[in-house]
Amino acid sequence: MDVLEDTVVDGPGFRTVIYAAGCRHACPGCHNPQSWNMGNGHPVEVDTLVRQVLDDPFADVTFSGGDPLLQVEAFTALARQIKKQSRKTIWCYTGYRYETVVQSPRLFMLLPHIDVLVDGRFEQKLHDDKLLFRGSSNQRIIDVKASLAAKTVVGYRMKE
Report DSSP state, residue 143: E
Picking from 96, 50, 48, 90, the residue whose alpha carbon sits closest to that of residue 69 is 96
Q: Which of 30, 46, 107, 146 binds ligand SF4 (CB under 6 A)?
A: 30
Which of the stretches 11-19, 24-32, 111-119, 145-153 binds ligand SF4 when contact is defined by CB under 6 A?
24-32
Number of residues that bind ligand SF4 (CB under 6 A): 13
Q: Tell me whether the omega of the peptide bond preceding residue 66 falls within 30 degrees of 0, making it cis.
A: yes
Choose which of 15, 17, 35, 60 interacts with ligand SF4 (CB under 6 A): 35
- CB 8, min distance to ligand SF4, A: 20
From 121, 134, 139, 144, residue interacting with ligand SF4 (rule: CB under 6 A): 121
Q: Which is nearer to ligand SF4, 60 or 119 (CB)?
A: 119
The piece of 22-30, 83-91, 107-115, 141-149 that touches ligand SF4 (CB under 6 A) is: 22-30
Query: Is residue 60 close enough to count as binding ligand SF4 by CB under 6 A?
Result: no
- What sign for the dihedral angle of Cα 8, 35, 115, 6? negative
C-beta pairs of 5-11 under 8 Å, 24+ apart in sequence = 5/56, 5/59, 6/56, 6/59, 7/62, 9/133, 10/62, 10/64, 10/91, 10/93, 10/133, 11/60, 11/62, 11/89, 11/91, 11/116, 11/133
Task: Tell me how far, at minimum, the Cβ of 133 lies from ligand SF4, in Å.
Answer: 14
- Which of 27/46 has CB closer to ligand SF4? 27
Q: What whole-number distance in Å separates Cα of residue 140 and Cα of residue 119?
A: 6
Of 23 and 53, which CB lies nearer to ligand SF4 in the complex structure? 23
Binding site for ligand SF4 (CB under 6 A): 23, 25-27, 30, 32, 35, 65-67, 95, 121-122
